[in-house]
A and B are shown apart, each in its own frame.
Chain A
Amino acid sequence: MQELINRAKELLESGEVARVLGWKAGDLPYNPEPAYFEKAEDLKDFVYNGFCGANLSKYMIEASKLEGKTMVCLKPCDTYSFNQLIKEHRVDRDKAYIVGVGCKGKLDIEKAKKLGIKGIESVSGAEMSDACDTLTFQTIYGEKSCAYADAMLERCHVCKGKDHMIYDEIIGESRDTKDAERFAEVEMIEAMSPAEKFAFFQEELSKCIRCNACRNVCPACSCRKCVFDSTKFDSAQKANVDSFEEKMFHVIRAFHVAGRCTDCGECSRVCPQGIRLHLFNRKYIKDINELYGEFQAGADAEARGPLTNFTFDDCEPSIVAERG
């Protein structure tokens, strides 16, 4: 982390960047927040550890409109989102100085809490400098610990790899934390009968409270004005209606980001109701892989997306009927 702070200080002081986009230490041991640092002395609050899960690529949409360059800290998986945003002309590559930060898997404090760890006063083992094997919590109810991997975000279990897809320099080491098959859950659902599938998604989606956190955090959801925010649209964004969320809202959103979603997992990370929203996106990714050939959105900033391109090898519309 110190190396990162030193570099940020250098870039700020030399005037090469006007601000640094990273994370500021929180007031609990696990709640750092995305933050801009404009002065070198502000960097005393800079933090980078296992709890810095937020994907800062989306913040670069706004940062691209500001005067001067922004040094942005991107983890390997965040760089896919950044590439995709370049492709969609939503961020300005020239306005970013990308520091690829090392990542050994990011943490979900709720997972630790579900293991019965509560009253947390401090955490050790979440710093990026060590092996990231065990988390030790000092709590008002005594010392508790859990394996690092047991508190990792879902997305880290299907890690896309330790390489940054775009960067100006890399600081810190990364490791591939993949220990599960990316499409295993999707295959499980595919094997269900239509009635079972419907029941599964109904159960998941009826939890939705329409807070729109999934949409607002999503780097692929970068429309200037969302259709669900339109006052002229019949299903106002705000009414919490199970039937709409179950059959429409999340399905519409998933279709809209299909072919552009990098599977960054932010939607599932932020959902206050723990809805496994990534399942939708992953189903579309799996289908695209099968119908148009392997494709990873954001692997580069140039390639045409499978759904915005035409080739003679593309599947025919009849595929819908054939697949049932």
Chain B
Amino acid sequence: MYKIAKENLSALFQMIAGEQELYLPVNNNGQVNFAAWTEGANVDLDTLKSVKSPKDAFFPQSENLYTVTKENKKIKIEPEALKDQNFVVFGMKACDVKGVEVLDKVFLVDPVDTFYAARRAHGTIVALACHEPEETCFCKVFGVDAAEPVADVATWMIDGELYWKALTEKGEALTNAVASLLVDADEAKVEAEKEAIRGIVEKLPYSDLSLDGWNGDVLLDKFNSPVWEELYKPCLACGTCTFVCPTCQCYDIKDYDTGHGVKRYRCWDSCMYSDFTMMAHGNNRTSQMQRFRQRFMHKLVYFPANNDGMYSCVGCGRCVEKCPSALNIVKVIKAFENQGGEM
């Protein structure tokens, strides 16, 4: 266990960024999001949740896959280079780290997504425990411990000092690289902080949310429930919930005509959008109710069915904070609870 004074963090960031890319929460024009560290960046480690989750670091919202150009009468296809430089994501919360675990289940199984795998291989995650969890948090429900993030390095901010503990080989390597800025620390303060965080989590209004009745075996019961017909109505069909979510992983692949070639890119898709999964034959979800249902069925039924019971929600609560119509996954879970759900 090591520590570093808060006022030395900029030196730490500078040292890390001298060797590799560093992504961390930056306040840009009033909004905190993960961004590349630059000299003078307004780093904000106090805001609990970035607007977007940090999943962009591994699975960017838009990325080119390959470029097609015509040379003389030949077509040239150039794949986009894979990430081959190390980078660090600093300040991820326990829920967001769990979110990456969910993405791994999608992108690192056969067929492996090489773009994602390259980023995972080169990325080191330094997680930060949640000093003051908020009422929109419900990570405990999904087995996440806000007090003890499981990442390459776990850190805790206590009384103006950042406590630092490497948990993996990658974490050890980063720790060695910045060792000159770290000093030895004892664990007592961190243990007290963990207890304090867990105490707060117990008090959060959503911490006792029950997932009873949600698993991979209830597919048709839940799918055919009349509850969806009521639930979806205030939904505006925007993509906010899906784009701020740390686990939403659907993407679309399209071609962009550059005028002298084609760029094939992929970008996050949203099940809330009208052309989600549109195919040559048309669209298999033609109503907003069906699209709305898809999001929650995916997270609470389909995903656990395919991944040994693992839900693809981590309880970060961003959808709770950001939905323009105040809908969210918690309300969905509760609605089924109140109405007996399994009809």
Which of B10-18, B235-243, B299-307 forms contacts with chain A? B235-243
Within 8 A of B (CB), among A274-306: 274
Interface pair A207/B28, CB less than 8 Å apart: yes
Contact of A213 among B52, B132, B238 (CB under 8 A): B238
Q: Does A34 contact B (CB under 8 A)?
A: yes
**Distance A211 CA – B322 CA, assembled complex (angstroms):** 11
Asked whether, in the complex, the Cβ of A33 is within 8 Å of the Cβ of B326, the reply is yes
How far, in angstroms, from A229 to B237 measured CA to CA in the complex? 12
Q: Compute how far the CA of A110 lies from the CA of B268 in the bound complex, rounded to whole angstroms.
A: 26
Tell me if A161 counts as interface (CB < 8 A to partner B). Answer: no
Q: Are A238 and B265 in contact (CB under 8 A)?
A: no
Q: Which residues of B contact A27 (CB under 8 A)?
A: 205, 330-331, 334
Q: Nearest chain B CB to A226's CB is how many angstroms away?
A: 9
A216 in contact with B236 (CB, 8 Å)? yes
- Other-chain residue from B29, B52, B254, B326 in contact with A236 (beta carbon distance below 8 A): B254
A211-B239 CB under 8 A given contacts A240-B61, A272-B244: yes
Instruction: Output the residue of B236, B257, B270, B273 with the most chain A CB within 10 A.
Output: B236
Are the C-beta atoms of A33 and B203 separated by less than 8 Å? no
Total interface residues in chain B, CB < 8 Å: 52
The contact of A207 among B31, B273, B320, by CB within 8 Å, is: B31
B31 touches A273 (CB 8 A): yes
Compute how far the CA of A28 lies from the CA of B134 in the bound complex, rounded to whole angstroms.
12
For residue A269, CB closer than 8 A to chain B, the reply is yes
B311 to A: closest C-beta gap in Å = 19
- The answer to whether B52 touches A209, judged by C-beta atoms less than 8 angstroms apart, is yes
Are A35 and B234 CB-contacts (below 8 A) given A121-B205, A203-B29, A231-B275?
yes
| Residue of B whose beta carbon sits closest to that of A242 | B62
Contact, CB under 8 Å: A34 / B135:
no
A163 at the interface (CB under 8 A from B): no
Known: A212-B238, A239-B62, A272-B322. A119 touches B243 (CB 8 A): no
Known: A35-B234, A239-B62. A229 touches B326 (CB 8 A): no
CA distance A203 to B325 in the complex (A): 27
Q: Is the CB of A229 within 8 A of B234?
A: no
Assembled-state Cα–Cα distance A6/B274 (Å): 38
Asked whether A210 lies within 8 Å of B31 as measured between CB atoms, the reply is no
Q: Closest approach, in angstroms, between the C-beta of B321 and any C-beta of chain A? A: 8
B interface, CB within 8 angstroms of A: 28-31, 33, 48, 51-52, 61-62, 132-136, 200, 203-205, 233-234, 236-240, 242-244, 252, 254, 256-257, 265, 267-270, 273-275, 278, 320-322, 324-327, 330-331, 334
Question: 6 closest pairs, A vs B, by CB?
Answer: A270-B324, A213-B238, A31-B326, A239-B267, A216-B236, A33-B326
Residue numbers of A with Cβ under 8 A of B are 26-28, 31-36, 54, 59, 110, 118-121, 139-141, 203-204, 207, 209-213, 215-217, 229, 231, 234, 236-241, 269-270, 272-274
